[in-house]
Amino acid sequence: MIKTARAGLACLAAALAFAGVTTAATADVSPRLTATQLVADMGAGWNLGNQLEASTNGIPSETAWGNPVITQALIDRVKASGFKTIRIPVSYLGKIGAGPGYPVDAAWLSRIEQVVRYAYDQGLYVLINMHGDGYKTVAGSWLICDAADQTTIRDKYQKVWQQVATRFAAYNEHLIFESMNENFDGQYGTPTQPCYSNINAYNQIFVDTVRKTGGTNASRWLLVPGWNTNIDYTVGNYGFVLPTDQYRSSSIPAAEQRLMISVHYYDPWDFTGQEDGVITQWGPRATNPAKTSTWGQADYLDGQLKKVHDTFVVRGYPVLVGEYGAIDKTSADSANNTYRADYARTLVAAAKKYGAATAYWDNGYNGQYGFGLFNRSTATVTQQGIIDAIIGAVTGTTPPTTPPTTPGTGACRVTSTVSAWNTGLTNSVTVTNTGTTAVNGWTLSFALPAGQTITSGWSATYTPATGTVTATNASYNGTLAPGASTTIGYQATHTGNAAAPASFTLNGTTCT
């Protein structure tokens, strides 16, 4: 996806890499995994989106779309949250020099390697690709399947991947290459020819080029997409052709594959990505038909994942749902995060059932219409409920899907205790269910006084940091029996006004 913001020894090695010095990566001593073992070992995945694929006027820059510089602390937080795989989209664009050699800027390649090492050195699986170079809407894009001069495009593509693959040839199989991202001709109808044929050609060039660079590249898993990573246009009779893998290591048994299939899943788009706040609910727990899409529900999702299983997994080709997720519409529906979590849980559980791995799309943006699960500036969690749903589905600890219940009017009470100093404050907030029915999953909304900005919080996730804030329950305090209370809190800065927040509502119900 292209979505801009609106979205010890290891340390020494990383520092040297960033300075332009290539260091030896971990030797390939890990056992080679079968397709089934690989998917299980990859666990839950997460996208470092809108960072190394971000660009301005055709020049890649990790801060171009509003995200801060990537840090080790962020990757450590992602790992600590339970994710075992990180997909790192990468654009090259204006960092590629002129032909015939098409040299990739050394500093850019070193920064890519440094970010890879943030995750790789922690034992995580890492995926890198060629992302924005194939989008017509991105300035400087060139990997265009319906462009006239395909000879030049293919030569440039081969030269860039040769350099990238050579750089990482010594990395073990925890590093996976993905040939490209959502490549298509820009129209969302039936795939056209010869455009699809050119996509197939890119995939074949990618596989052949990587394999010929040797080292672990001769045996590592390689990821290839079909038309726009669309499931139907990849599994159906629309022109997708699996690359041959004739140059892979002879040590790989003939019956085993080393190619993976890349698909993305954002159905139904009116729930997952449409920025209008109309469709805010999804799945069997949806309570309002007017807020629920008329298609793309759990049965449809299951059917789509079964298609990739029946087409590829049964033949030994593992599948990665490399992007999925739903944007934050809590500004229109305070219960939206419940359905976002349900969507993620259902997708990941279905993928696990059908032998596919997954990677949630996080664009780094928290707040209205954001996909973010983490605050990248502070390396903190912002959507614990969604993370819990993802990790639970992978580990088999998915909670029961009982319908969410909310107290009636006037069924909640809030007390707020502020301790302030200079330009900072802490606020302890106790929420009590004064209703007669249990609350299973809650969001507490309140108006933060002008000049205050939340910098950290506990026992809930808070978004956004200013204005009207929504606090969403943690995994351990989401149920409030009648008469039960829970205490949450946050730290904030202020510009002179250290007053307590006002206008508290719990799941839309005004609190006293």
The per-residue pLDDT for 397 is: 72
- Tokens 């995939």 map to which residue? 203
Task: Output the CA–CA distances (angstroms, integers) from residue 344 to 301, 428, 483, in the order listed.
Answer: 11, 31, 31
375 contacts 455 by C-beta, under 8 angstroms: no
Alpha helices by DSSP H, listed for 81-222, are 106-120, 150-167, 195-212
Task: Output the CA–CA distances (angstroms, integers) from residue 461 to 73, 374, 450, 493, in the order listed.
Answer: 18, 10, 20, 17
143 contacts 130 by C-beta, under 8 angstroms: yes
pLDDT tens for residues 62-106?
999 999 999 999 999 999 999 999 999 999 999 999 999 999 999
Strands 222-225 and 479-480: unpaired
What's the CATH number of domain 412-510, 1.10.569.10, 2.60.40.290, 3.20.20.70, 3.40.50.300? 2.60.40.290
The angle subtended at Cα 425 by Cα 419 and Cα 431, nearest 5°, is 65
Q: Any bridge partners for residue 414, and if so which? A: 431
Q: What is the DSSP letter of 63?
A: T
Select from 219, 231, 210, 98 the least CA-distant residue to 163. Answer: 210
Please give the positions annotated as active site: 182, 323
Task: Output the CA–CA distances (angstroms, integers) from residue 308 to 231, 315, 355, in the order listed.
Answer: 7, 11, 9
What's the gap between Cα 389 and its chain centre?
Answer: 14
Q: What is the DSSP letter of 104?
A: B
The angle subtended at Cα 208 by Cα 172 and Cα 198, nearest 5°, is 125
Q: In whole angstroms, what is the distance from residue 102 CA to residue 94 CA? A: 11
Tokens of 413: 């009470």
Strands 374-375 and 380-381: antiparallel
pLDDT (tens digit, 0 to 9) for every residue of the chain, 512 residues total?
765 433 333 333 333 333 333 333 433 444 578 999 999 999 999 999 999 999 999 999 999 999 999 999 999 999 999 999 999 999 999 999 999 999 999 999 999 999 999 999 999 999 999 999 999 999 999 999 999 999 999 999 999 999 999 999 999 999 999 999 999 999 999 999 999 999 999 999 999 999 999 999 999 999 999 999 999 999 999 999 999 999 999 999 998 999 999 999 999 999 999 999 999 999 999 999 999 999 999 999 999 999 999 999 999 999 999 999 999 999 999 999 999 999 999 999 999 999 999 999 999 999 999 999 999 999 999 999 999 999 999 998 744 444 443 333 347 888 888 777 778 777 888 888 888 788 888 889 989 999 999 888 778 888 888 999 888 888 667 888 887 888 888 888 999 898 999 998 888 889 98
Q: What is the CATH number of domain 9-395?
A: 3.20.20.80
Q: What's the chain's length in residues?
A: 512
Show me where the domains of the chain are located.
9-395, 412-510
The per-residue pLDDT for 496 is: 87
The per-residue pLDDT for 289 is: 96
The per-residue pLDDT for 407 is: 34
Tokens of 491: 């730290």
Terminal alpha carbon distance of the chain: 43
Dump strand ranges (E) for 259-342: 259-265, 319-324
The per-residue pLDDT for 15 is: 35
The per-residue pLDDT for 232 is: 98
Q: In whole angstroms, what is the distance from residue 209 CA to residue 8 CA? A: 34
321 contacts 351 by C-beta, under 8 angstroms: yes
The per-residue pLDDT for 400 is: 43
Q: In whole angstroms, what is the distance from residue 230 CA to residue 246 CA? A: 26
What's the gap between Cα 206 and its chain centre?
Answer: 24
The per-residue pLDDT for 402 is: 40
The per-residue pLDDT for 307 is: 98
14 contacts 118 by C-beta, under 8 angstroms: yes
Q: In whole angstroms, what is the distance from residue 403 CA to residue 499 CA? A: 36
Question: Residue 451, exposed/middle/buried by CB under 10 A (0-12, 13-18, 19+)?
Answer: middle
2 contacts 129 by C-beta, under 8 angstroms: no
Q: Any bridge partners for residue 356, and if so which? A: 319
Tokens of 167: 């750089």
The per-residue pLDDT for 178 is: 98
SS3 449: coil
The per-residue pLDDT for 139 is: 97
- Tokens 């943006």 map to which residue? 365
